[in-house]
Amino acid sequence: MQDTSINASFRDDLIEALRRTPKSISPKWFYDERGSDLFEAITALPEYYPTRTEATLLARIAPELAAGIPDGAALVEFGSGASAKTRILLDAAPQLSAYVPMDISVEALDAAARRINADYPALEVWPVAGDFTHPISLPDEVAGRPTVGFFPGSTIGNFGRDGAEVFLRTVRTLLGERASLIIGADIVKDRATLERAYDDAAGVTAAFNLNLLERANREAGADFDLDAFAHRAVWNEALERIEMHLVSLKPQVVRIAGQAFLFGEGETLHTENSHKFTEAGFEALAAAAGWRLGRSWISPAPEFAVFVLNPP
């Protein structure tokens, strides 16, 4: 497996996050082995509509997506996780010769790559463990093949506007001038549906959010008191994003590697943004990054979109 720049800097990032005002950290640190397992549990929750809705939509449009995939192409997936939705494309497009899953969670990537290898013996599988916000390259083995990008799960929504544009531009360079990109994006909708999806009754999303602090204690030498923080998910209508926070339930001091950080009562560590899109907004974002919006499909409510981006 190709390995780029994983996990070298969790502690440094955490220290920087806690020095900021307001305190905020990248959601990429959610995905240790337990975080990836918790995310998979979230995808099955009744309140969490995105995974189900996107998978149903992908299954409906798979023949149309497959028709746009060249013979012998390599499918390159960003943030592939369990590679579950990938199977919909692999089943519909047997002309694919290779699959390149990329993820920061080495354990999840490794397990998914092994399962895909076993279930699709004619397909070459070349996993890339790495952080796609850092420079990445494709495995030499797929050089010269046509490429198609796949970025489901509305993971694009975890970037800010500038970060999303930079990412989409980087992907275009990585995949090559003639590549297309199939991308799943969640659509702006009513507050109640959104907030329920990120604050489920069973508390799985809360456990996912709090796992960041457990990971900090395990891997970064922090001493977070897990009972003194609570999960909060709130729809920020002006910025069209769900925000996840960890709220300090009392004034407290957290220590990491000999450094002390003060939390006031009610102060939060902002752990994730999940931006929601309109079709017009997404088209403008894609254009700014050098892509042209080709086809788009939007599911019935709760609305979720699959867009195909093409070269301009």
Residues lying near ligand SAM in the complex (CB under 6 A) are found at: 28, 31, 36, 39, 43, 51, 79-81, 85, 103-105, 108, 131-133, 152-153, 155
Closer CB to ligand SAM, 163 or 311, in the complex: 163
Closer CB to ligand SAM, 28 or 241, in the complex: 28
CB of 248 to ligand SAM, least distance (A): 25
305: β partners: 185, 298
CB of 9 to ligand SAM, least distance (A): 12
CB of 43 to ligand SAM, least distance (A): 6
CB of 178 to ligand SAM, least distance (A): 24
3-state SS assignment for residue 312: coil
Closer CB to ligand SAM, 199 or 254, in the complex: 199
The three-point CA angle 264-265-267 to 5° equals 65
CB of 86 to ligand SAM, least distance (A): 8
Closer CB to ligand SAM, 98 or 156, in the complex: 156
Phi first, then psi, for residue 218 (nearest 5°) are -70, -45
CB of 193 to ligand SAM, least distance (A): 18
Closer CB to ligand SAM, 162 or 177, in the complex: 162
DSSP designation for 174: H
Q: Are 36 and 111 in contact (CB under 8 A)?
A: no
CB of 57 to ligand SAM, least distance (A): 12
Closer CB to ligand SAM, 111 or 287, in the complex: 111
Query: Cα(267)–Cα(269) distance, rounded to whole angstroms?
Result: 7
Closer CB to ligand SAM, 105 or 268, in the complex: 105
Query: Cα(118)–Cα(129) distance, rounded to whole angstroms?
Result: 19
Query: What are the E-state strand segments in 136-251?
Result: 147-151, 180-186, 229-236, 241-248
Strands 128-129 and 2-3: parallel
3-state SS assignment for residue 258: coil
3-state SS assignment for residue 12: helix
CB of 271 to ligand SAM, least distance (A): 13
Angle, helices 10-19/204-219, rounded to nearest 10 degrees: 110
DSSP 44-68: TSSS-HHHHHHHHHHHHHHHHHHHT
Environment class of residue 235 by beta-carbon count within 10 Å: exposed (0-12), middle (13-18) or buried (19+)? buried
Closer CB to ligand SAM, 9 or 259, in the complex: 9
